[in-house]
Amino acid sequence: MRGLRLTDGRFTLEPALPVPAAGPGETRVRVRLAGVCATDLALARGYMGFEGVAGHEFVGTALDGPLAGRRVVGEINAGCGACARCLAGDPRHCTDRTVLGILGRSGAFAEELCLPTANLLAVPDEVADDAAVFAEPLAAAFEVAEQLDLARFERALVVGDGRLGQLCAQVLLDADLDVTLAGRHPERLNRFPRRPRFLAGAFDAGAAPPDERWDLVVEATGDPDVTARALAVVKPRGTLVLKTTAARPATLDLAPVVVDEITILGSRCGRFAPALEALRSGRIPAATLIDARYPLERGADALAHAARPGVLKVVIEMPNPDDDR
């Protein structure tokens, strides 16, 4: 099969990758559409030490198993199935897990992938591929609602108006919070019917911090240097949610956390069901974030495009299985 392989920080198209073999309880999936994520770009910079086929945002067609012939999306963490966390229904935090296209498991930038059948969810007929490919990042945004009782908060700030920041802002608006989005691109507010207030440039290096303070702050810039600036605008006894993962560490003075009794919450992957329902109902029209699409043959160009400043979602279209290869 064809796919993009990450080696020594470079993505190259490989014409004859081995087809992934489904293990016990797994399903083979033919990928239809894959999304490029900031994590994929971080992998190329050395994050997780990953080499191989990256990509974890996808919509595909199940080739076997109980969902054979159905369009599917898939939760990306594959647990061992035997530890206490897996048996309690939380493979996302299994210490022996593999993660699609990130840790020990070949990913979605190829014609086929394998995931545990239990990880797969059928895509509702009302949800087009362009929307379904956002199931994974939208689920990550909804993870904030799973971790926190959002009814406790009135005002929220999302720092970062990139792909994930936009989705986090929409999830918080969906929960009826008063939301401010901080970033550099006010024109992006036009992509969604529900618009947060916008705060321009307030968290850039050297910028004066805003005078306001918020009960809930979500840091989603992808830049670990912003963490300290985001912490500075959390109200006493407020909550800072960290969404950024990066190849380099952040430096943080923890004294204000103690003095102001601030809660810091790491937030990663979420359940797909709430995301699929939000896409099905049209409450969060995530497909508006697509800026560009490329065929698999130009997958390396897709990754380069996604790395440009100001670009939102880039997707990679897989070939029709009936195409000559």
- CA 116 to CA 120: how far, in whole Å? 7
3-state secondary structure of 145: helix
Q: CA 156 → CA 31, 48, 168, 196, distances in Å?
A: 36, 31, 10, 10
Q: What is the pLDDT of residue 314?
A: 98
| 141-266 CATH | 3.40.50.720
Q: What is the pLDDT of residues 92-125, one digit of tens each?
A: 999 999 999 999 999 999 999 999 999 999 999 9
Report whether 137 contacts 164 (CB < 8 A): yes
Helix 163-174 with 135-147: angle, nearest 10 deg: 50
What's the mean per-residue pLDDT of the chain? 94
Residue 303, token pair as written in the block: 């990754």
| pLDDT value at residue 323 | 46
pLDDT at position 209: 84
**CB contact at 8 A, 65 and 119:** no
- Tally of CA atoms within 13 A in the half-sphere of 180 that contains its CB: 21
User: Is 70 exceeded by the pLDDT of residue 24?
Assistant: yes
- pLDDT recorded at residue 236: 97
CA angle at 61 for the pair 22 and 316, rounded to the nearest 5°: 100
For residue 4, how far is the Cα from the chain centroid? 19
Give the rounded distance of the alpha carbon of 231 from its chain centre.
Answer: 22
- Predicted confidence at residue 206, as pLDDT, reads 86
Q: How far apart are CA 221 and CA 239, in angstroms?
A: 17
- What residues form DSSP beta bridges with 314? 292
Q: How confident is the model at residue 141 (pLDDT cuts 50, 70, 90)?
A: very high
135: tokens are 């199931």
Which of 126-140, 188-202, 309-323 is the least confident region? 309-323
pLDDT tens figures, 55-94: 999 999 999 999 999 999 999 999 999 999 999 989 999 9
In CATH, what is the architecture of 3-123+285-317? Alpha-Beta Complex (3.90)
Question: 122: Cβ–Cβ under 8 A, 6 or more apart, which residues?
Answer: 67, 70, 71, 72
The answer for residues whose C-beta is within 8 angstroms of residue 209's C-beta and 6 or more apart is: 202, 203, 229, 232, 233
Task: Say how far apart CA 319 and CA 32 lie, in whole Å.
Answer: 8
Helix (H, G, I), strand (E, B) or coil at 5: strand
pLDDT value, residue 321: 63
According to DSSP, the β-strands at 57-62 and 71-74 are antiparallel
Spell out the domain ranges in the chain. Answer: 3-123+285-317, 141-266
Any idea how long the chain is?
325
